[in-house]
Structure 1
Amino acid sequence: MLTIPLTSVMVDDQAKAEKFYTEVLGFVKKQDFPAGGARWLTVVSPAAPDGVELLLEPAGYPFARDYQKALFDAGIAFTAFGCDDVQAEYDRMRKLGVTFRGEPARMGENMPPMAVFEDTCGNLIQIFQTSQEEK
């Protein structure tokens, strides 16, 4: 059976990404070592330190930067993260200066509440509520 031990998000600056993803989002650095001209830099959720690692991957190729910019300009989130309470995360992150594209909302009757923010590294990231309980 296939599993997903690692996924990635392209970033325009690994040092800036490390700071944002750890200090603002609250992830924990898992791996950090040289890899070519960049770093193999992963973070994990403190709730699952042995769970899925998120690689903060440099958008080093022009086509990667073009793709990242096209998604950003079109308002499309590069990836999504779950949380128990979208409104609480939105409020917490806003206090830390995170730029959101709007307040948490449902995009359809059966959809969970969600919000989209800028990660300061060239991406839009969506957060959505994973609990069924209305907050």
Structure 2
Amino acid sequence: MQAHLRVMSVFVDDQAKALEFYTKTLGFLPKADVPVGEDRWLTVVGADAPDGVELLLEPGSNPAAIAYTASLREQGIPAAQFGVDDLVAAHDELSAKGVRFTLGPTPMGPVVGMVLDDTCGNLIQLVGPAA
């Protein structure tokens, strides 16, 4: 057997707000939007890989999810990491959109990374190649 990534998730405190942030701010594309009771099976994909791994914007109202995301935030730990081709350009573009960073572009060995607030309860790390 060889497993492969199909869906990864981040808990979000507001699915509609998360969809807007991940699509309009970070450039992901909507993939699935299926009602599931009061919530939705809501996924996005990278614009460069529409049939690739889906990111599930999972409702974070479960007490375990609330504690988990709060603990990650308190410790400054990103809930997910995404790659970009040019981190400095991404920082400039996202700053112009009003994105709040908890860590600006910082050399991290073979990459440069930064951490942003996704407005939905998570810290997200973006990394790109070092110059």
Quickly name the TM-score band, shorter chain normalised: over 0.9
Q: Give the distance between the partners of 2:22 and 2:119, measured in 1 at CA.
A: 10
**What does residue 123 of structure 2 align with?**
124
Q: Give the distance between the partners of 2:122 and 2:104, measured in 1 at CA.
A: 18
Q: Give the distance between the partners of 1:64 and 1:56, measured in 2 at CA.
A: 12
Matches within 5 A, 1:1-135: 1-107=2-108, 110-129=109-128, 131=129, 134=131
- TM-score, normalised via structure 1 length: 0.92
SS of the equivalent of 1:29 reads strand
Q: Give the distance between the partners of 1:59 and 1:111, measured in 2 at CA.
A: 33
User: What displacement does 1:37 show?
Assistant: 2.1
SS of the equivalent of 2:103 reads coil
Q: Give the distance between the partners of 2:104 and 2:45, measured in 1 at CA.
A: 26
User: What displacement does 1:38 show?
Assistant: 0.4
Q: Give the distance between the partners of 1:113 and 1:56, measured in 2 at CA.
A: 26
2:119 maps to amino acid: T
1:123 maps to amino acid: N
1:26 maps to amino acid: G
- TM-score, normalised via structure 2 length: 0.95
User: What displacement does 1:36 show?
Assistant: 2.5
User: What displacement does 1:19 show?
Assistant: 0.6
Q: Give the distance between the partners of 1:47 and 1:20, measured in 2 at CA.
A: 18
Query: Any unmatched runs of 5+ in structure 2?
Result: none
The sequence identity of aligned pairs, in percent, is 48
RMSD: 1.1
